[in-house]
């Protein structure tokens, strides 16, 4: 005897429950989890050496250096998930809440980066001398540098004149 799909055996089966209660946007949740972990590790990095320390630096590097890029990336993912209807589940809304809470720390990272520039310029002035910026700009205005870059990027190999009189930057 063959059972029909409408019979009482199949009525409460797990695969017949509505989509919005059982589906979870795995791509969105994994990207949101990485973004939240990156923001957390940028705010409070792990003080460990070895593989775990390298992994924490790698995950937190982008939000630490440019929190706006991480914010826009998550915003684009959220808008895409919203347009596709993937934010219908409570789990997806919990992931969105996690990201919103983790991005509260973005102003802290922006403040840290604004404070780092004067300290970095002061350290370079003390070690390399006050004219380090002009020597660096003259070194990068050399056609030979652009020729090397064009070769690396696969562009044509044009002959360039040699650079004369570039001061050493070190």
Q: Of residues 134 and 31, which shows the higher confidence score?
A: 31
Both tokens assigned to 87: 């934010």
Using the structure block, give the residue that is written with the tokens 């684009």.
76
Give SS3 for 7. coil
Radius of gyration of the chain (CA): 26
pLDDT at position 48, please?
79
Using the structure block, give the residue that is written with the tokens 């070194």.
139
118, 51 Cβ separation under 8 angstroms: no
169 pLDDT band, cuts 50/70/90, is very low
Both tokens assigned to 84: 């596709």
Chain segment 7-19, per-residue pLDDT in tens = 555 455 555 555 5
Whole-angstrom distance, CA of residue 64 vs CA of residue 106? 9
Q: Of residues 26 and 153, which shows the higher confidence score?
A: 26
Alpha helices in the chain (DSSP H): 8-11, 19-22, 26-43, 51-65, 67-84, 90-102, 106-128, 132-140, 143-152
- Kindly tell me if the per-residue pLDDT of 4 is higher than 80: no
Of 43-52, 79-88, 118-127, 151-160, where does mean pLDDT reach its minimum? 151-160
pLDDT at position 101, please?
87
- Kindly tell me if the per-residue pLDDT of 111 is higher than 60: yes
Chain segment 31-53, per-residue pLDDT in tens = 888 888 999 998 888 887 888 88
Chain segment 67-110, per-residue pLDDT in tens = 888 888 888 988 988 888 888 888 888 888 888 888 888 889 88
Cβ-proximal residues to 59 (8 Å cutoff; 6+ apart), any chain: 34, 37, 38, 41
Name the DSSP class of 3.
Answer: P
Phi, psi of 161 (to 5 degrees): -75, 155
pLDDT at position 18, please?
52
Residue 129 Rama label (left phi>0; alpha psi -120 to 50; beta)? left
């Amino acid at each position: 005897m063959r059972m029909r799909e409408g019979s009482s055996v199949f009525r409460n089966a797990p695969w017949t429950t509505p989509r919005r209660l059982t589906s979870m946007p795995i791509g969105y949740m994994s990207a949101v989890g990485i973004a939240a972990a990156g923001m957390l590790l940028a705010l409070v990095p792990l003080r460990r050496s070895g593989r775990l320390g390298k992994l924490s630096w790698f995950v937190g590097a982008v939000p630490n250096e440019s929190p706006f890029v991480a914010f826009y990336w998550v915003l684009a993912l959220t808008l895409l998930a919203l347009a596709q209807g993937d934010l219908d589940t409570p789990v997806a809304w919990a992931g969105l809440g996690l990201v919103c809470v983790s991005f509260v720390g973005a102003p802290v990272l922006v403040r840290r980066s604004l404070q780092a520039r004067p300290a970095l310029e002061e350290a370079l002035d003390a070690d390399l001398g006050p004219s380090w910026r002009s020597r660096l700009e003259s070194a990068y205005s050399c056609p030979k540098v652009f020729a090397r870059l064009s070769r690396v990027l696969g562009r044509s190999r044009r002959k360039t004149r040699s650079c004369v009189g570039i001061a050493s930057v070190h």
